Amino acid sequence: MSRVAAKNTITLRGSAKIVSEFFGYSINSILYQRGIYDPDTFRTEKKYDLKMQVTTDEGLNDYLKRVLAQLEDWLTKGTVKRLVLVIAATETNEVLERWVFDVETDQKVVETGVSEKEKPEKEITREIAAIIRQITSSVSFLPLLECSCTFDLLVYTPADLAVPVTWEESDPKYINKSNEVRLRSFTTKVHKVETSVSYKADD
């Protein structure tokens, strides 16, 4: 009987694609769970063996596609340190939540372009699914967002990185008096992503 070995080697480009896809689904999930967009503007899609909510809003879709394409490019160059999704009150601009995705990159793989890292895709999918489940269940401990809210995406990169003209410099948009909850992490062996959420503490 002949058998084919499972393809477990993770390339730099393959890892960047996995991470940027994870960002895309995580952002959609947060925007849905936190009610930033009308739930009727989302459709269900199967990913990571889970039912995911994905936006059907054309403007939001176009924006996310542009951001994620740029993120994937930067991930292959090892220049993304952190992605932050900030939720703020529309009227006052007060920051209410910060969803932080810290990224560690194996710089040796970036420099040589060669990866001997191995990890079964099923294992990566399982780790990602655990984070998505935590995002989904976060509504149980996060304060209710009682006002109209908007969101921003902040990407932390080296200061000397050439950035597209459509991107702007931003302050970190920290929360005055916050609580933090650390969520799970996942690794492709090339990129490691650690997740946490900070939210405004009761006065």
The tens digit of pLDDT for each residue in 98-117 reads: 999 999 999 999 998 777 77
Question: Which pLDDT score is estimated for 15?
Answer: 93
Distances in whole angstroms, Cα of residue 143 to Cα of each of 86, 96, 118, 151: 15, 9, 40, 16
Judged by average pLDDT, the poorest of 2-6, 27-31, 53-57, 58-62 is 2-6
Across 119-141, average pLDDT: 93
What would the mean pLDDT of 159-187 be, rounded to a whole number? 76
Torsion, CA 197, CA 16, CA 74, CA 21, rounded to 10? -50
Over 80: is that where the pLDDT of 167 sits?
Answer: no
**CATH pick for 12-164+173-200 out of 1.10.510.10, 3.40.50.300, 3.40.1390.10, 3.30.900.10:** 3.30.900.10
In angstroms, the Cα distances linking 179 to 96, 146, 171, 199 are: 11, 18, 20, 5
Mean pLDDT of 28-33: 95
With bands split at pLDDT 50, 70 and 90, how would you rate the model's confidence at 118? confident
CB 56 within 8 A of CB 41: yes
Alpha-carbon distances, residue 108 vs 9, 70, 185, 189 (angstroms): 16, 22, 21, 12
The mean pLDDT of 126-154, rounded to a whole number, is: 92
Helix segments in 45-120, DSSP class H: 58-76, 107-112
Give kind and range of the element (H or E) at residue 82: strand 82-89
Which DSSP category does 177 fall into?
Answer: S
Above pLDDT 90, what percent of the chain? 69
Amino acid type, 36: I
Structure confidence at residue 5 (pLDDT)? 44
pLDDT of the residue at 160: 63
- Torsion over CA: 201, 170, 26, 127 (sign): negative
Q: What per-residue confidence (pLDDT) applies to 95? A: 92
- Binned at pLDDT 50, 70 and 90, residue 7 comes out as low
Q: Is the pLDDT of residue 176 over 90?
A: no
Residue 79 pLDDT more than 70?
A: yes
Give residue for tokens 């992503």.
Answer: 193
Q: Is the pLDDT of residue 203 over 70?
A: no
Is residue 130 within 8 Å of residue 184, measured between CB atoms?
yes
Domain ranges of the chain: 12-164+173-200
